[in-house]
Amino acid sequence: MEMSTTFAIFCLLFGSIHAQERVVRGGVRRFEMQVGDNYYGNCGGKDVKIKLIDSRNQVCETSVSDPFRKNQVVYWANYRAGTCKHNMIIDSSTKLQIHAGSWDIFCPRKIVLYTTTGQRFVSLMSNTQYSRNDNNLDHSIGTEEESTIKHITLKIKNENCGEPNYSYNSEYGCGGRNIKVKVTTGRNNVCYTRAKSIIAKNQFANWIGDDLGDCKNQRIEDSTVSIETENNHDKFAVELMQIKMSDNDDTLYIVQNLYGTGPYLYNNGNPVRFSIRKVWPPPGGVPQRTRPLVCPRPEEDACPLNEMAAYKVNSNRNMNCAPECDRVTNTRYTTNPGVTDGTGFRCMRTEYASSQFGYCCRTNITSETIPYCGDVPGGNMQTEEQFLEETNLQCPQVGCPVASVKEYYDPNPNNVFLDCEPECDFVNGPANSTNSGFYCATTRRTRRETKFCCNLQGAVTNLPTCQSNENNQGNEANHGNGVNHGNGVNHGNEANHGNGVNHGNGVNHGNGANHGNGVNHGNGVNHGDRVNRW
């Protein structure tokens, strides 16, 4: 009897030890999928999850992703890391698969795994785009010792830099065109981001994914940064610039000494090389949490991290504030963890002052604890390409160059529910017509109808020609009720005998366009309601 009892105890102990050997105390605490773009611009997706297969053929998978756009970083962390948080062997033998739940074509470039033991593994994608057809494609993972650039943020000053203050001109003031970033590491290791076609005054620009160009695999230690433009006479001014790295600590650098106005060039014409300074983590490393991490619950109304965008500088205080979960319910700027726990957002005290961004959400969360980007000034963080894609705006190949477009109002303007602005390199009229190159948004209240003319003689466009803002003399505009014998614009109610445009209700005997309600005997276009005899 005693032998039997002893044997039973031995079996229990052996079974317990063997079971402990089968349980692996490891897993992934966070996944990052860096998404790029393609020629067609359709690289966003939804319902994507990551699947891992370790050396024991143990399988785990994350939760499905929220919808995402091109050139974003998609996160799975905490409960959204799914069954991959525990009991997984993560090493070079582990295989990774990307499983899509929809037929969207999306463009993952790199997937980074941060393990619960502090390691960092990277899987580079073999294809340029993926869909459900690639769900069972295996990818290898490997360690990446040096962190590389994940996200560059730049903000333009809310000032004027000597540019004409035309409200329709999105790059007026200190805004600029065709701005790109150059990173120089050592003597000869140089990378460039893609150029941003327009960064408006008081706006943020972000380089993520394929927008990073060949800088997405660049390390940053001992580097300098240059801010360049293809328009060497463009006056723009940068308020701040940050570079976030892809590593366990979300290491953050700031670009220093951003004084003056661009183009930022030395006297010999070479780009200024700005120094950088690491501001996070502090010298002693990331402060340890004094309490367990609490993230928003699955059912809570929260903003996905990839949909959060900085739209203002909130403060400059001795703290570092950033999201710590893959979804955020509120952005509370305090170092008291009792206030921030459960929000997905955390602030930690630092020995130096740093800029804290105010964030908006590109998706409208019903709790309104994070503002919707469409409702805040500067909240439209779209690139020009994203804007054209989402508005289905078609740009004409010829027309009036956007830099030569001017706006004006009729003496007795109509009140309309439209706000139109030029959005393409070339535009034509009328502004609210198809393929005009203008974007017209519907407004809640009526406003004076804005009209546009072209200030470039000889431009191939059906916009009316405008000369200058002087009074009507000779070839200028007649805004009265009489006759204009010049070559300009007649906004009155009588006859225009010149070669310009008649916006009134009478007869145009010239060679231009009649936008009124009468008869055009000239050779141009009649946008009115009557007969055009050409």
The mean predicted confidence, pLDDT, of the chain is: 79
Question: What mean pLDDT do residues 357-374 have?
Answer: 86
Judged against a pLDDT cut of 70, whether residue 291 lies above it is answered with: yes
Give me the pLDDT at residue 533, please. 30
Per-residue pLDDT reduced to its tens digit, 431-472: 888 888 887 877 667 778 888 899 888 899 999 988 743 333
Per-residue pLDDT reduced to its tens digit, 311-336: 999 888 888 999 999 999 999 999 99
How far is Cα 9 from Cα 12, in angstroms, rounded to an integer? Answer: 5
DSSP 8-state class, residue 265: B
How far is Cα 227 from Cα 264, in angstroms, rounded to an integer? Answer: 7
Give me the pLDDT at residue 379, please. 63
Range with the lowest mean pLDDT among 31-45, 197-211, 378-392? 378-392
How far is Cα 202 from Cα 160, in angstroms, rounded to an integer? Answer: 10
CA 121 to chain centre: 27
Choice between 387 and 529, residue whose per-residue pLDDT is larger: 387
Tell me how long the chain is. 534
Query: From its phi and psi, is residue 64 left (phi > 0), alpha (psi between -120 and 50) or beta?
Result: beta
Per-residue pLDDT reduced to its tens digit, 412-442: 888 888 878 777 778 898 888 888 888 787 7
Question: What mean pLDDT do residues 90-98 have?
Answer: 95
Judged against a pLDDT cut of 80, whether residue 506 lies above it is answered with: no
Domains and CATH numbers, the chain: 22-143 (2.60.60.20), 148-280 (2.60.60), 303-383 (no CATH), 393-454 (no CATH), 477-534 (no CATH)
Residue 415 near residue 448 (C-beta atoms within 8 A): yes
Give me the pLDDT at residue 380, please. 57
Which residue's structure tokens are 């466009």? Answer: 461
Give me the pLDDT at residue 394, please. 75
Q: Which two tokens stand for residue 439?
A: 């974007």
Choice between 376 and 165, residue whose per-residue pLDDT is larger: 376
Give me the pLDDT at residue 482, please. 40
SS (H, E, C) 394-425: CCCCCCEEHHHEEEECCCCCCEEEEEEEECCC
Judged against a pLDDT cut of 60, whether residue 510 lies above it is answered with: no
Give me the pLDDT at residue 4, please. 53
Determine the longest span between alpha carbons in the chain, in angstroms.
Answer: 124
